[in-house]
């Protein structure tokens, strides 16, 4: 009987531009690439390290070394396999996602179907994906906005002392709707409300994580008074977090690297819908592997922010593609990716 076999290696993504948000700046992103082999097929996965979750290439290699997939006879039993892996150790969400994604890829390949079909999801409801503009000086912002050409929504990182300048600069160039991400950068709820009221007049659609994740009561106050939806990102990682923050936010940003992958993301979407929370589907800086995996869920989201692979110079996969501002999964089996050169 064939056996599942896991392998993994580190890789470094090079960003097209230095990426700055309210709390840090960087030019590369460390990732781990995983492969699961089964009966001549290969499933691809990826772990990208969100800085605020504290994972490193070393911690991920350490975690993956503890995983033994060869003991599972029923490869279709994702529920059990992924639950076992989750129980190996707390945290390690990106490491767990790298297995989850490769398992979905291999199972889809065995079934010879893409995941949106296995889930029965209709691709005609895909929202536009936003394209991210990091914090920068005026000339770089102008350059990035021009590069974003075909995108119908831009995502802007705010949370320092020049928020209004950044928005004014963008508004001099384009009138496309904006999503703003504060990355916990505002500290005062009254000032936050004042800014949101100002942003409302600038064609902004939503505000992501305006206040630090510890300020949950202040966020609830803000959400109640805000004319724009307030979306949790740093405040919500996994399924079990949703209940804790459901009254403080209008919606949640789900990312595979935060929530351990496609299996849990699907469950989170269903719970969020039951609770009348809006859904944003986000990403880290990732190759087309992680982005393609997430893209199968994009028709279920209210807003999609899956631009991670577009921000890097050395994508080693080809998969989900942008058509007229919307990101579509490929129709090929599994997560729908092809390795285009060797890492
Ligand atoms: Mg965010």
CATH of 117-339, one of 3.20.20.120, 3.40.50.300, 3.40.30.10, 3.40.250.10: 3.20.20.120
Which residues lie near ion ligand 1 (Cβ < 5 Å)? Answer: 181, 208, 233
230 C-alpha to ligand 1 centroid (Å): 11
110 C-alpha to ligand 1 centroid (Å): 35
What are the residues whose beta carbons fall under 8 Å from the beta carbon of 153, sequence distance 6 or more? 128, 129, 130, 131, 176, 177, 178, 179, 205, 303, 325
257 C-alpha to ligand 1 centroid (Å): 12
d(CA 256, CA 237): 9
9 C-alpha to ligand 1 centroid (Å): 27
Of 105, 14, 100, nearest to 64 by C-alpha is 100
117-339 has the same fold as 5-112: no
39 C-alpha to ligand 1 centroid (Å): 39
Of 148, 152, 160, 197, nearest to 178 by C-alpha is 152
- Under CATH, to which class is 5-112 assigned? alpha beta
The pLDDT tens digits of the residues spanning 47-87 come to 998 676 789 999 999 999 999 999 999 999 999 999 999 99
179 C-alpha to ligand 1 centroid (Å): 10
d(CA 315, CA 15): 10
pLDDT band at residue 20 under the 50/70/90 scheme: low
d(CA 48, CA 59): 12
234 C-alpha to ligand 1 centroid (Å): 7
105 C-alpha to ligand 1 centroid (Å): 26
- What is the number of H-type helices and E-type strands within the chain? 12, 15
The residues spanned by each domain of the chain are 5-112, 117-339
The pLDDT tens digits of the residues spanning 286-325 come to 999 999 999 999 999 999 999 888 889 999 999 999 999 9
Of 336, 339, 334, 326, nearest to 126 by C-alpha is 326
- 166-205: b or e for each residue (b if 16 or more CB lie within 10 Å)? bbebbeeeeebebbbbbbbbbeebeebbebbeebeeeebb
306 C-alpha to ligand 1 centroid (Å): 12
Residue 208's DSSP bridge partners are 181, 231
75 C-alpha to ligand 1 centroid (Å): 34
pTM: 0.94
15 vs 142, which has greater pLDDT?
15
């Amino acid at each position: 009987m064939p056996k599942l076999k896991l392998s993994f290696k580190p890789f470094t993504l090079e960003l097209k531009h230095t990426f700055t948000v309210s709390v840090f700046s960087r030019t590369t992103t460390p990732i781990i690439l995983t492969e699961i082999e089964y009966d001549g097929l290969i499933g691809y996965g990826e772990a990208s390290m969100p800085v605020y979750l504290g994972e490193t290439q070393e911690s991920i290699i350490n975690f993956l070394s503890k995983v033994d997939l060869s003991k599972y006879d029923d490869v279709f039993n994702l529920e059990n396999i992924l639950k076992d892996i989750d129980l190996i150790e707390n945290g390690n969400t990106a490491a767990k996602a790298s297995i989850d994604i490769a398992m979905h890829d291999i199972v889809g390949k065995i079934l010879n179907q893409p995941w949106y079909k296995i889930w029965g999801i209709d691709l005609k409801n895909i929202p536009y994906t936003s394209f991210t503009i990091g914090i920068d000086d005026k000339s770089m912002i102008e350059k990035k906005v021009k590069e974003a050409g075909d995108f119908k929504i831009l995502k802007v990182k705010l949370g320092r002392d020049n928020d209004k300048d950044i928005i004014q600069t963008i508004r001099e160039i384009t009138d496309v709707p904006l999503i703003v991400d504060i990355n916990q950068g505002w500290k005062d709820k009254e000032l936050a409300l004042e800014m949101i009221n100002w942003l409302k007049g600038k064609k902004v659609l939503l505000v992501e994580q305006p206040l630090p994740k510890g300020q949950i009561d202040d966020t609830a106050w803000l959400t109640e008074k805000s004319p724009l939806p307030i979306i949790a990102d740093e405040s919500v990682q996994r399924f079990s977090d949703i209940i804790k923050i459901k009254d403080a936010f209008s919606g949640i940003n789900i990312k595979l690297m935060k929530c351990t992958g496609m299996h849990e993301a699907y469950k989170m979407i269903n719970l969020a819908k039951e609770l009348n929370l809006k859904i944003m589907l986000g990403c880290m800086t990732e190759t087309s592997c992680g982005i393609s995996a997430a893209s199968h869920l994009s028709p279920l989201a209210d807003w999609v922010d899956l631009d991670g692979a577009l921000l890097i110079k050395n994508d080693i996969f080809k998969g989900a593609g942008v058509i007229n501002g919307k990101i579509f999964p490929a129709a090929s089996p599994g997560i729908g990716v092809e390795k285009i050169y060797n890492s």
